[in-house]
Structure 1
Amino acid sequence: MIEATELTKRYGERTAVDGLSFTVRPGRVTGFLGPNGAGKSTTMRLILGLDTPTSGTVRVGGRRYRELVAPLRVVGSLLDAGGVHGGRSAHAHLAGLAASNGIPRRRVDEVLATVGLDPATARRRTRGFSLGMGQRLGIACALLGEPEVLLLDEPVNGLDTEGIRWIRGLMRSLAAEGRTVFLSSHLMSEMELTADHLIVIGRGRLLADTGMREFIESNSRARTLVRAAEAERLRDVLDAAGASVRLDARGGWLVDGLDAPTIGALARAHDLTLHELAPRRSSLEDVYTAMAAGAGDYRTEVAS
Structure 2
Amino acid sequence: MIEVRELTKRYGARTAVEGLTFTVRPGRVTGFLGPNGAGKSTTMRMMLGLDTPTAGSVLIAGRTYRELPTPLRDIGSLLDAKGVHGGRSAYAHLAGLAASNGIPRRRVDEVLAMAGLDAATARRRTRGFSLGMGQRLGIAAALLGDPRTLLLDEPVNGLDTEGIRWIRDLMKSLAAEGRTVFLSSHLMSEMELTADHLIVIGRGRLLADTSVREFIEANSRAHTVVRAGEGAGEAERLRALLEGEPGARVRLDSGGGWLVEGPAPARIGELARAHGVALRELTPRRASLEDVYTEMARSSVEFGGVGR
| TM-score where L is the length of structure 1 | 0.91
- Give 1:185's aligned residue: 185
Q: Aligned to 1:172, what secondary structure does the other structure show?
A: helix
Q: Aligned to 2:302, what secondary structure does the other structure show?
A: coil
Q: 1:269 to 1:82 in 2, by over 3 A?
A: same
- Greater shift, 14-23 or 245-254, is seen at 245-254
Structure 1: distance between partners of 2:305 and 2:236:
36
Do the aligned partners of 2:242 and 2:268 also contact (CA within 8 Å) in 1?
A: no
Alignment of 1:86-97 (within 5 A): 86-97=86-97
Do the aligned partners of 2:239 and 2:258 also contact (CA within 8 Å) in 1?
A: no
Do the aligned partners of 2:241 and 2:271 also contact (CA within 8 Å) in 1?
A: no
- Greater shift, 274-283 or 35-44, is seen at 274-283
**Once the two structures are superposed, what CA deviation does each residue of 1:41-63 show, in whole Å capped at 9, x if it has no partner?**
10000000010000111111111
Structure 2: distance between partners of 1:13 and 1:253:
50
**Once the two structures are superposed, what CA deviation does each residue of 1:128-167 show, in whole Å capped at 9, x if it has no partner?**
1111111111100100000011001111111111111111
Do the aligned partners of 2:85 and 2:126 also contact (CA within 8 Å) in 1?
A: yes
- Give 2:56's aligned residue: 56
Q: Aligned to 1:225, what secondary structure does the other structure show?
A: strand
- Greater shift, 52-61 or 291-300, is seen at 291-300
Structure 2: distance between partners of 1:249 and 1:72:
50
Structure 1: distance between partners of 2:300 and 2:238:
33
**Once the two structures are superposed, what CA deviation does each residue of 1:57-115 show, in whole Å capped at 9, x if it has no partner?**
11111111111222111110111111111111110110011111111100100000001
Q: 1:277 to 1:3 in 2, by over 3 A?
A: same
Do residues 279 (structure 1) and 284 (structure 2) align?
yes
Q: Aligned to 2:5, what secondary structure does the other structure show?
A: strand
- Greater shift, 290-299 or 129-138, is seen at 290-299
Q: 1:48 to 1:247 in 2, by over 3 A?
A: farther
Q: Aligned to 1:254, what secondary structure does the other structure show?
A: strand
- Give 2:199's aligned residue: 199
Q: 1:75 to 1:131 in 2, by over 3 A?
A: same
Structure 2: distance between partners of 1:17 and 1:28:
25
Q: Aligned to 2:303, what secondary structure does the other structure show?
A: coil
Cα root mean square deviation, aligned:
2.4
Matched length: 303
- Give 2:114's aligned residue: 114
Q: Aligned to 1:297, what secondary structure does the other structure show?
A: helix
| TM-score where L is the length of structure 2 | 0.90
- Give 1:293's aligned residue: 298
- Give 1:161's aligned residue: 161
Alignment of 1:248-287 (within 5 A): 253-261=258-266, 263-264=268-269, 274-287=279-292
Q: Aligned to 2:215, what secondary structure does the other structure show?
A: helix
**Once the two structures are superposed, what CA deviation does each residue of 1:8-45 show, in whole Å capped at 9, x if it has no partner?**
00011110010111111111101111111111110000
Do the aligned partners of 1:35 and 1:300 also contact (CA within 8 Å) in 2?
A: yes
- Greater shift, 242-251 or 159-168, is seen at 242-251
Structure 1: distance between partners of 2:84 and 2:254:
41
What amino acid is the match of 2:125? Answer: R
What amino acid is the match of 2:292? Answer: V
- Greater shift, 251-260 or 49-58, is seen at 251-260
